[in-house]
Copies of this chain bind each other. A is one copy, B any other.
Amino acid sequence: VGIEDLSYDQIADVNKVFVSRIRDLKNDSRFKYILIFRNYGQRAGAVIPHPHSQLIATPITPKRVMEELRGARRYYSFRSRCVFCDMMSEESEAKERVVYENSQFLSFCPYASRFPFEIWIVPKIHASDFENIEESAMFELADVLKATLQKLKKALNEPDYNFILHTAPVRHSRNGSWATIDKEFHWHIEIMPRITYVAGFEWGTGFYKNPTPPEEAAKYLRKMDVL
């Protein structure tokens, strides 16, 4: 059983817990980042079998988060636009990598997917911090999660996966390098099925070889009838 098997209301409840935990932990000045993730299945590192998510608050901004923020900033300083907003408008137009969408969210296989069937879920309206999500978007978020994860489950016969919420770091002050994050960064969810193993090439380079083009993965996922 995964989160996709819960009802819309139950999925929304899980997301509301994330929101309330993040809001509360942000008040603690020791924390710089609040990471929410889900490991599904053994190959994704899960050690307990029932559906569960994890939250880890860190006293520094993680390396990977910094890299993503820096990348977003580089794009913003060049184009004066959010890279995720631009990515979504290209994906909406091209359509070939789209997995599912509703009025508030787009789910797609990114152009430079690192893994077969990698999927990102991105809110259509620019927002840097997940916990500022409107109450009215909660049902749409539950819907996009349920549809996307059920498609993935059906397409790959219940694959193991990692699910990671990418949201902006805690800003105890809005000065200095944190001043413009609101405009540069866009929260989103990354879903990484664990159907191939990370090997020496990936460890040695930080580059990823992916045998499945995202267009093919998305086409296959779109065909899956779910809900």
Contacts and interface: CB of A to CB of B under 8 A. Distances in A.
Interface of A: 33, 35, 37-39, 42-46, 54, 56, 58, 62-65, 67, 162-164, 166, 192, 196-207
Given A35-B201, A54-B201, A206 B44 contact: no
Query: This chain: how many copies in the complex?
Result: 2
Chain A interface main SS type:
mixed
Nearest to A199: B45
Contacts of A163: 200
B199 A63 contact: no
A45 B197 contact: yes
Contacts of A197: 42-45
16 contacts: A35-B204, A37-B199, A37-B201, A37-B203, A38-B200, A39-B199, A42-B197, A45-B197, A45-B199, A54-B200, A58-B205, A62-B205, A63-B205, A64-B203, A64-B206, A162-B200
Contacts of A56: 201
A140 B198 CA distance: 31
A200 B163 CA distance: 7
Contacts of A58: 205, 207
Given A163-B200, A164-B200, A200-B162, A205 B45 contact: no
A37 B54 CA distance: 33
A205 B206 CA distance: 14
B203 A164 contact: yes
Given A35-B205, A64-B206, 6 more contacts: A37-B200, A38-B200, A39-B200, A44-B199, A64-B203, A164-B204
A33 to B, nearest CB: 8
B62 A204 contact: yes
A37 B198 CA distance: 13
A196 B198 CA distance: 13
A90 B53 CA distance: 40
Contact of A199 (B33, B46, B205): B46
Nearest to A61: B205
A223 B197 CA distance: 31
The listed residue with most B CB atoms (<10 A of its CB), out of A35, A197, A201, is A197
A56 B201 CA distance: 8
